[in-house]
Amino acid sequence: MKNTKISILGLGMMGQAIASGLIQGHHAKRLLSGTTRTRAGATRLRAQLGIAVGADNVGAVAGADVIVFALKPMQVLEVARELAAAGAVAPRTLVISIAAGVTTGQLEEILGPKVVVVRAMPNTPCSIGCGTTVLSPGKRAGEGHIATARRIFAPLGRVLELEEKHMNTVTGLSASGPAFVYVILEALADGGVARGLPRQTAIEMAAQMVYGAASMVLATGRHPAALKDDVTTPAGCTIAGILALEDGRIRSVLSRAVEVASVRAGELASGK
């Protein structure tokens, strides 16, 4: 990785997080480049990140060892075709796509038989180094390519690997999941406000509680149900609250949210 030239196409929130993670990991800035849609954005990001930033995708990938597609799903295939038509992607280049719904097979078909593709699905907490990225190798990706992808995403949080058949579900759970948690967090804070807590204090308490509860699951390795039972004393306030949640079908509602988001992820690349 030390001398690896990396080009990030699409320096939005996630693209910037990837670039910042590489910079914090002491990857040489001269080996990093990226693109954005406007000249004003390019000027701002050059000053902010200290790397080469432009609006020309073909120019940005010249000589790149790794190309990261940090674009919206509908844009990825269009840009891939643009690069292929220009012959801009050299053989054995590693292409990493973080776009929901875009398969490794689609990119392999467009970019040609000598390009290696890895699919990645990060989530927004990656922007503060507390996220999860799931990797899925294409048919030509070997252990070395996955290792490179792991090193790129490691500064952003946990990195996991799964077969590509699971990636739409990963999108529905891990990538869409933070938004579901924000809805839950806001509702919990609303409950505190309804009982007289100041709004900002209620939000801070709810956020720290969610963070702490999630940390306990990861730190202890115990099943969430077992941790729930630790808090649920007979005839206590917690079981009363849990019964209210069950009255609202919270389990099926959240499970269905993941299911529906997963289905939608599979539709995105087709422009539906």
* pLDDT number for residue 82: 97
* pLDDT number for residue 130: 96
* pLDDT number for residue 272: 67
pTM attached to this predicted model: 0.93
The alpha helices in the chain, defined as continuous H runs, are 13-24, 39-49, 57-60, 73-85, 104-111, 143-153, 167-170, 177-194, 199-220, 224-231, 237-247, 250-268
* pLDDT number for residue 61: 96
Which of 186, 190, 234 has its CA nearest to residue 210? Answer: 186
Rg of the chain, C-alpha, whole Å: 21
* pLDDT number for residue 245: 97
* pLDDT number for residue 74: 87
Average pLDDT of adjacent 10-residue blocks, the chain of 272 residues: 92 96 94 94 95 95 97 93 96 96 96 96 95 98 97 96 97 98 98 99 99 98 98 98 98 98 88 66
* pLDDT number for residue 2: 79
* pLDDT number for residue 1: 74
* pLDDT number for residue 219: 98
The token pair that represents 145 in the structure block = 């390519």
Longest dimension (CA), the chain: 70
Which of 95, 22, 87 has its CA nearest to residue 65? Answer: 95
The token pair that represents 63 in the structure block = 């000589």
Distances (CA, A) of 183 to 130, 198, 199, 207, 254: 19, 18, 15, 11, 11
200 contacts: CB under 8 Å, gap ≥ 6: none
Looking at residue 240, its amino acid is: A
* pLDDT number for residue 48: 95
229 contacts: CB under 8 Å, gap ≥ 6: none
* Distance from C-alpha of 15 to C-alpha of 20, rounded to nearest angstrom: 9
* Distance from C-alpha of 96 to C-alpha of 209, rounded to nearest angstrom: 35
CA angle 142, 144, 146 (to 5 degrees): 75
Q: Strands 131-137 and 116-121, how do they pair?
A: antiparallel
Sorted by where each starts, the structural domains of the chain and their CATH numbers stand as 6-164 (3.40.50.720), 177-268 (1.10.3730.10)
The alpha helices in 86-176, defined as continuous H runs, are 104-111, 143-153, 167-170
Contact 167, 138 (CB under 8 A): no
